Structure 1
Amino acid sequence: MKTRPYIVSHMVASIDGRIDCSMVEKISGDEYYTTLERLDCPSLLEGRVTLEHYSAEKEPFVATVNKPVDKPSVNIAVKSDAYMVAVDTRGRLRWPSSEIDGTPLLCIVSELVPEEYLDMLREQEISWICIGKDSIDLPRAMEILRNEFDVKRLAVLGGGHINGRFLEAGLIDEVSLLLAPGIDGRAGQTALFDGIRDMSHPPVPLKLASVEPLANGTVWVRYTLKKIDQDDKTGKGMTQ
């Protein structure tokens, strides 16, 4: 029995690995979306920063009484073959609709969210997974996503910090990377995978699956992840 979805990180970056939205929009075309369709991942997941930029209301949610939920819960507002999954640890995003581009919204939050936030989601008929005391318990959230929402394949669409959290938790099965024909070069810009604070975290080895040049000069590279023996921080204990 599968305990979580097959998870693909799908990103577009400059050749120096930067992913600032306004920058990559200037050096890429619609290949991000055409290749995403080919990944056969009906359900998509984005982090709070990306969703603030593209999909959520501009003004954040502010609770009248900031009383945390402080317990796990799951709400299945609608059963669907596909979901747009929003990772929003403290429940800051407000939504203009229960759908994004016609796909039902599903919010993953921590138990730090105010009770009022879940009340708002319930009123809008938005599904949620509330799990994790101090931050979202991503491994458990992915198990719930698979076993209660029947999500078999999931594309994680970044940004860099949510990618880093999935990587650190050992939840990524495949990396789908579009290298767009351009260089960022600005100091301090977020990388493809970012934010892991454990400086002893070993590099994650990859196995090349395919390389495909696209018409506009973008290169589509796909990797699968090799597994590392977590007791071997040097990386010498990796297996295929």
Structure 2
Amino acid sequence: MKPKVTLLMITSVDGRLHPSRFTSSPDGTRRDWSAQYENIHQTLEAEAWLVGRVTMAEMSRAGPHVPSEAVEVERPLHIAERGDGTYAIALDPLGKLHFKPGGLGDDQVIVLLGRDVPDSHLAELTADGVSYVVSEKADIDIAATLDILGREFGIRHLVLEGGAGTNGAFLAAGLVDEMRILVAPAVDGGENVQGIVAYRDGLAGKLRLRLIAADTLDHGVVQLHYAVLPPEDRAPRADATDAPSQTPDY
């Protein structure tokens, strides 16, 4: 069964993605705003969080390496030894991500891969204690993969945390249940700077948002909480017939 998906992001007033570019405020600092974000993340009590390849590469900071001994490769699913933390999930259709043994802090890593990722990369992930799911297609079938995450890993609630292309792909496929957007008291203002959501054809006609609540948090941050609904001419659905035909570079 598909996990509940909550899109959680922090943004400037002009909808931009990178706090390092934000203006300053007398109401708080980037560190204060990040703390508000982490507080909301914790209150969601999700079993997993998911990001795209580019975002995960900033966290994993590892290069390719050959396992020290032979490793048996499993397809399409490998489940590493379970830890006590939550799952850190990355979309990586081409198999470009690498990890150090031991996961990310207390979090167990799961990588979602495209069909054509070579066995050598799967062996590396296995040796490093990383779980993975290999898609039946060259591109990742996001809806089908979410079902696997629910069924095989027991994930009931997943927090989606970008980047913009990943967020856009999930929204376009009708797989996001709610959005929690934290707006910091800052602007970016740069030209050609990516926002928190991007999708190649735009999202007009693909979804509707219904406001649930707007809450003022500490340090000038405002939380906007929306339910994500299907278009008016379409009933809610469990599958994702509008999934992108090509996987973006998450």
Task: Confirm or deny: 8 A CA contact 1:88 1:108 kept in the other structure.
Answer: yes
> 1 CA distance for matches of 2:149 and 2:230?
23
Q: CA deviation at 1:171?
A: 0.7
Structure 2 length-normalised TM: 0.81
1:148 counterpart SS class = helix
**Counterpart residue number, 2:20:** 22
Query: 1:129-163 deviations in whole A, cap 9, x for unaligned?
Result: 11142211111110100011110000011110100
Equivalent pairs, count: 221
Residues 77-116 of structure 1 aligned to structure 2 (within 5 Å): 77-79=80-82, 82-116=86-120
2:220 counterpart SS class = coil
Q: CA RMSD in A?
A: 2.3
Which one of the candidate residues 164, 168, 172 is aligned to 1:168? 172
**Counterpart residue number, 1:55:** 60
Query: 1:96-128 deviations in whole A, cap 9, x for unaligned?
Result: 133112111111111121211101011112110
**Counterpart residue number, 1:130:** 134
2:197 counterpart SS class = coil
Task: Confirm or deny: 8 A CA contact 1:226 1:238 kept in the other structure.
Answer: no
1:193 maps to 2:229? no
Q: CA deviation at 1:62?
A: 8.3
Structure 1 length-normalised TM: 0.84
**Counterpart residue number, 1:237:** 233
Which one of the candidate residues 230, 243, 248 is aligned to 1:227? 230
- Structure 1 residues 32 and 214 mapped into 2: Cα distance closer, same or farther (>3 Å)? same
Q: List runs of 5+ in structure 2 lacking aligned partners.
A: 67-73, 237-250
1:84 counterpart SS class = strand
Residues 141-220 of structure 1 aligned to structure 2 (within 5 Å): 141-194=145-198, 196-198=199-201, 201-220=204-223
Q: Which amino acid aligns with 2:200?
A: R
Task: Confirm or deny: 8 A CA contact 1:110 1:131 kept in the other structure.
Answer: yes
1:97 counterpart SS class = coil
Q: CA deviation at 1:205?
A: 1.1
Q: Which amino acid aligns with 1:54?
A: M
Q: Which amino acid aligns with 2:132?
A: W
More displaced 10-residue stretch of structure 1: 85-94 or 14-23: 14-23
